[in-house]
Amino acid sequence: MVRHGESVANVLGVIAGPKGCAGLSPHGIHQAEALRERLARTGEISSPAGSDPGNVAALPSGIVLQTSILPRAIETARILAPVLGVQQDAIEQDCGWCELHPGVADGLSLHELEDLYGAPDMIGNPDRPLAPGAESWTSFRSRVMSTIDRVVSSNAGAILVVVCHAGVIEASLLGLLGVAGASTRIGMRPANCSLTEWELSGSDHRWRLVRYNDAAHLA
């Protein structure tokens, strides 16, 4: 899982669904390029975990590159695609990887959201949608886990690289580590263009967290 680079919405403090997302900021482009250069140098995504980084022949069934449908994630994926050996037209877009769907709050500032619909309280009231037409924290977590199950089962044996969002990564941590409680928030916000890696064991079909928030290339 790769969190997208810094976005224009991040800088402006805008709630960015399909309407409010204006893509990557100039700094976000540099972040994605730094990750691309790291991957080209190390080959770490081209090889199974624990193997020789240069041994690309060990690749099980190739790399599948997916992204959410939001411009900031798509632009990040396009920057990374060449070093992963993925053609631009082979990048798969899936709305299941999107950040929490904001409904009518799409494009609003955080202050406007609070003025119109009240401050969100995803811990105290996880079933309350962010705004009319939006997801709640509970429904968002469920959607992310359903997406993981669906996509992983249809890409067995491949290395799946997903360019997504901070909320998606947090939901994956809660779901794949088996943290109970729909209102749980762990307060661990991954950096832009950081790597979070999961490994699925074939023998007992259990998930192992290999690394979280690896952003050494941005240091």
Q: Where along the chain do its domains lie?
A: 2-6+24-102+136-218
The string of DSSP letters for 47-111 reads S-TTS-TT-GGG-SS-EEEEE-SSHHHHHHHHHHHHHHT--GGGPEE-GGGSSPP-GGGTT-BHH
Could you give the CA distance from residue 46 to residue 60 in angstroms, rounded to a whole number?
Answer: 10
How large a percentage of the chain has pLDDT more than 70? Answer: 92
Read off the pLDDT of residues 73-114 as tens digits, 9 standing for 90 and up. Answer: 999 999 999 999 999 999 999 999 999 999 999 999 999 999
pLDDT tens-digit profile of 99-110?
999 999 999 999
Local confidence band at 210 (pLDDT 50, 70, 90 cut-offs): very high
- What would the CATH number be for the domain defined by 2-6+24-102+136-218? 3.40.50.1240
CB contact at 8 A, 164 and 68: yes
pTM of the predicted model, to two decimals? Answer: 0.91
Using one digit for the tens of pLDDT, what is the confidence trace for 31-64?
999 999 999 999 999 744 443 434 433 334 589 9
Task: Measure the CA–CA gap between 63 and 157, rounded to whole angstroms.
Answer: 10
Instruction: Kindly state the tokens that stand for 104.
Output: 């009518």
